[in-house]
């Protein structure tokens, strides 16, 4: 069974966008995963196709109407659908490589792209939406965030990148940032490739790469390292 993604959005024309290019697009063509974009306005109940209303209690902006969004979710994810329902939200749990791998091994995901001031809390609670954030900042809507989530997930679906070694040493896969990479020419702007990388000694190369990963992680993301034993 391939990974099936359904995205509920006010801008379905944005998809697949970059998800249809390169190895991700090839994986889609090979039916390793699929994507459908659903127009939220199709579930509106008036001739103006209204999907939002003013926030209760006052305040700026608009909020997506719970009845419209719930109808869309129910149509896309009926009873028996085992896919998690995800709301892209800056207040959600941070997206991690571990989470991406968990999703990649599942049946897919239903992803809701918020707009305006957000989503009525009753839909979040009633439809058991899992809120996921791609960073501590706010975007105009959830579409770009959904693409980030899907790219992180799709690229680790077995077969999309080829062999497992394609991403085994990448940042976060082993809890560390990735070591520096080099390729020919041997000398570029007066700087040589580190001699150890062209030595042919794979044991020493592996040791060097681990040392570089540890050094980079220590300087840039010490939060990824286990706490020092007292």
CA-nearest of 147, 103, 206 to 12 is 147
pLDDT of residue 17: 97
Question: Which pLDDT belongs to residue 169?
Answer: 58
The residue among 91, 86, 70, 73 whose CA lies nearest residue 149 is 86
Architecture of domain 169-224: Orthogonal Bundle (1.10)
In this prediction the pTM is 0.89
Q: Write the class of the CATH domain 3-154.
A: alpha beta
pLDDT at 163 over 80: no
| pLDDT (0 to 100) of residue 228 | 76
| Contact yes or no for 38/6 (Cβ under 8 A) | yes
Cα 74 to the center of its chain, rounded Å: 23
CA dist 220 and 51 (Å) reads: 43
40 Cβ contact partners less than 8 Å away, ≥ 6 residues apart: 8, 9, 10, 51, 64, 68, 69, 72
HSE value, Cβ hemisphere, 13 Å, CA-based, for 219: 7
- Is residue 171 scored above 80 in pLDDT? no
- Provide the edge-to-edge strand list for the sheet that holds 33-39: 33-39, 3-9, 108-113, 85-94, 130-133
Domain boundaries, the chain: 3-154, 169-224
Contact residues for 30 (Cβ-Cβ < 8 A; gap 6+): 159
Q: What is the mean pLDDT of residues 186-194?
A: 95
């Amino acid at each position: 069974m391939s990974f099936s993604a359904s995205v509920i959005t006010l801008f379905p024309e944005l998809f697949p966008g970059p998800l249809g290019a390169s190895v991700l697009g090839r994986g889609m063509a090979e039916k390793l995963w699929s994507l459908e974009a659903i127009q939220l306005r199709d579930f509106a109940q008036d001739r103006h196709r209204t999907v939002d209303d003013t926030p209760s209690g006052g305040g700026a902006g608009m909020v997506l109407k719970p009845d419209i969004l719930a109808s869309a979710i129910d149509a896309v994810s009926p009873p028996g659908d085992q896919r998690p329902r995800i709301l892209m939200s800056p207040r959600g749990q941070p997206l991690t490589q571990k989470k991406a791998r968990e999703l990649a091994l599942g049946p897919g995901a239903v992803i809701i792209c918020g707009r305006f001031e957000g989503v009525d809390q009753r839909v979040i609670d009633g439809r058991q939406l899992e809120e996921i954030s791609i960073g501590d900042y706010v975007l105009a809507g959830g579409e770009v965030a959904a693409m980030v989530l899907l790219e992180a997930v799709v690229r680790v679906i077995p077969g999309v990148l080829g062999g497992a070694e394609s991403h085994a040493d990448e940042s976060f896969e082993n809890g560390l940032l990735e070591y520096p990479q080099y390729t020919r020419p041997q000398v570029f702007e007066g700087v040589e490739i580190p001699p150890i990388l062209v030595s042919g000694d794979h044991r020493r190369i592996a040791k060097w790469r681990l040392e570089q990963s540890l050094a980079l992680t220590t300087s840039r993301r010490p939060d990824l390292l286990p706490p020092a034993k007292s």
